[in-house]
Amino acid sequence: MQPVEKEAGLQAIGRSKGGLSTKIHAICDALGNPTDFHLSVGQAHDLEGADIFLEDFVAGALLADRAFDADGRVLEKLAKKGVEAVIPPKSNRTEPREYDKELYKARHLIENFFARLKHYRAIATRYDKLASTFLGGIFLASAVIWLN
């Protein structure tokens, strides 16, 4: 389990536009099977998960959405490790970069995983108070998803 933000304590609950929430950061393999998770408060940016996951990331390519189009925090780290960044550039980028559009089509696998994870009511509605208990439920649901 990854540590949660200090300000959120042991609960990883924060405020976002929809009220109290928790953000689940996940990494999936090439088949769409989950390999690692991290929780953060609801108002945290997606790059917080990237900061944690990229430390030990080993793969040929990383498929991510536009939120991860950050030079210093993501793209440079991937380039140092020799990992191909398959991340579409944000519309406000001054120098648009190229990415593999055909490979990017496989990003639906992580979206499909989150859709299957939301079938578990306890995960979708966050019944657990502590982040460690909630993360344990995510791991259990992920194991069931992986086995099916």
CATH of the domain at 133: 3.30.420
- Domain assignment present for residue 62? The answer is yes
- Domain assignment present for residue 1? The answer is no
Q: Could you tell me where the DSSP H helices lie in 3-117?
A: 47-53, 76-81, 101-104, 108-117
Exposure string for 87-104, b = 16+ CB within 10 A, e = fewer: bbeeeeeeeeeebeeeeb
Lowest mean pLDDT of 31-35, 105-109, 123-127, 141-145, name the range: 123-127
Q: Which helix (H) or strand (E) holds 123?
A: helix 121-125
pLDDT band at 7 (very low <50, low <70, confident <90, very high): very low
pLDDT band at 2 (very low <50, low <70, confident <90, very high): low
Q: Which domain holds residue 111?
A: 6-147
pTM for the model stands at 0.81
Considering its fold, how many domains does the chain have in total? 1
Better-predicted residue by pLDDT, 44 or 90 = 90
Question: Chain centroid to CA 85: how far?
Answer: 15
What is the pLDDT, as a whole number, of residue 112?
94
What is the pLDDT, as a whole number, of residue 9?
55
